[in-house]
Amino acid sequence: MGLKEKFETKEEIAIARASCEESLKLFIHTMHRELTGIKYTFKPFHDIIISKLENIAEQNTTKKNLQINMPVGFGKSLIVEYFIAWCFSKNKNNTFLYTSYGDKLINKLSKEVKDIIESEPFVFLWGYKLEKDERSKVNWSIEGSTGRAGLTAGSIGGTITGLDAGNPSIEGFCGALIIDDAISASKIIYQNAREDCIKKYEDVLKTRLRRNDVPIIHIGQRLDEGDLSDYIIKNEPDDYDIVTIAAMEDDKSVWEKKISTEDLLKLKKRRPSVFYSQYQQAPDRNLYSQFKNPKYTDDETLIYDGVSHVDASYGGTDFTSFTAMKELPDGKIIAYGNLWTEHIELKTTEIINIRKRLRSGTLYLENNADKGYSEKEFQKRGEFVLGYHESMNKYYKIMTYLYSRWEDIYWLRSTKPDYISQIQAYDENSTHDDAPDSAASLIRTFEQGSSGFLF
């Protein structure tokens, strides 16, 4: 039975409309059932999120902004869509700015919110029509609205000039800036990507608030130390209400049908980095890493006359990794690491300059992929290079040499954080292993000499 059959008189329709406007949960329950034919599955954590969003819309909170960290697949995007539509049901003059890391997510959310507002049950209760002179697929407004109302959307890395959050033409709540997945999981390992995301948040997104009482709603996974969620927690605790939803509490899944306790426990054992970040919202490299608490030294002279190694990238998603090391008589290992996303050809000069600064001797270079081309390029530049063909299993090599000597290593302070981060995030299933592989390759020479490269 649809809404038209349930509510026939003007009085009944008015009561139903007012009830949905009063309660976001009732709005979601009603619209989801009408649009999909099934009931929305509310879990206890959904009630928490809904309550927090209602407080934002009603300006019934001591903290203007809201951050929600929750696992992938737990319904965050759908709740955001219903929340925006619900706010428009209460006042069509609201102005929302929605942003995310990619255009695909932006287009999807904008279309789905439009679909809700143009749906039969929504039109039956509120009778809205969208303006026909829409300038884009993602930016739209409702007929009869006041000022620059509606939904505006743009990617964090794109141009959002002219896109705003909040409508100064109305009193009280007038819209919000919604940041949904500020950075993709595939880029979270890059320090420069994390820093760029935070810079855009500070220098660009915050400037799009048209009134100082317009709230920011940041929702997504807490993927890594130093991401935007972590930045907000550490630097803006007085401005944000922080909500953290973990997939597992007291060793039990909070949503068994979505992901079982058994699967979460398996993930915790096999992929702890994924479990603690994407599912528990608690990224802590020292908590899950096999390579805990790296030690550092500021004395670069200790690495003079050591050896170095390049794990080269030839394109795609691989990294070019450079490592320099020297084993001291007391068994300590002094080390330096650097990591780039560029092709090895673009980093040759920089690597040579680093080697000169660190006074590195032999350069070991794996030549599996380019059949010795890079080796010849370094030799042309006067570098002493030993090319080799690698056949040893990477995981076995990393655990045999790098893991076993981890406590002996003192990294130069100038080592790039991304290099250490990749090592700390490493496990048998890691997509990226260039830094730990390079470091392990050099430690193998301390154990076996140059013969360690005869594999």
Higher pLDDT, 449 or 412: 412
Please tell me whether residues 318 and 173 are part of one structural domain: no
Percent of the chain with pLDDT over 70: 95
CATH number of the domain that residue 422 is part of: 3.30.420.240
CATH number of the domain that residue 18 is part of: 3.40.50.300
Amino acid at residue number 445 = T
Please tell me whether residues 445 and 377 are part of one structural domain: yes
Higher pLDDT, 255 or 187: 255
Which among 141, 147, 146 has a CA at the least distance from the CA of 117?
A: 141
Q: Is residue 288 part of a domain?
A: no
> In the structure, what pLDDT confidence band is assigned to residue 136 with cuts at 50, 70 and 90?
low
pLDDT tens digits for range 375-428: 888 888 889 988 888 888 889 999 999 999 999 999 999 999 889 988 988 887
pLDDT of residue 399: 93
Please tell me whether residues 344 and 240 are part of one structural domain: no
pLDDT of residue 35: 94
CB 154 within 8 A of CB 136: no
Please tell me whether residues 225 and 319 are part of one structural domain: no
C-alpha neighbours within 13 Å on the C-beta side of residue 224: 23
Average pLDDT of the chain to the nearest whole number: 90
Per-residue burial over 124-151, b if 16 or more Cβ lie within 10 Å, else e, is bbbebebeeeeeeebbbbbeebebbbbb
Judged against a pLDDT cut of 90, whether residue 306 lies above it is answered with yes
pLDDT of residue 55: 97
pLDDT of residue 455: 40
Please tell me whether residues 311 and 208 are part of one structural domain: no
Which among 48, 155, 30 has a CA at the least distance from the CA of 85?
A: 30
CA dist 255 and 257 (Å) reads 6
CA dist 52 and 44 (Å) reads 13
pLDDT of residue 428: 78
> In the structure, what pLDDT confidence band is assigned to residue 227 with cuts at 50, 70 and 90?
very high
pLDDT tens digits for range 137-158: 678 999 999 988 999 999 987 7
Last-in-domain residue among 220, 245, 270: 245
pLDDT of residue 52: 97
What residues make up the domain containing 340?
A: 295-453
CB 295 within 8 A of CB 264: no
> How many distinct structural domains can be found in the chain?
2
CA dist 358 and 356 (Å) reads 5
Contacts of 430 (CB under 8 A, 6+ apart): none
Last-in-domain residue among 211, 245, 279: 245
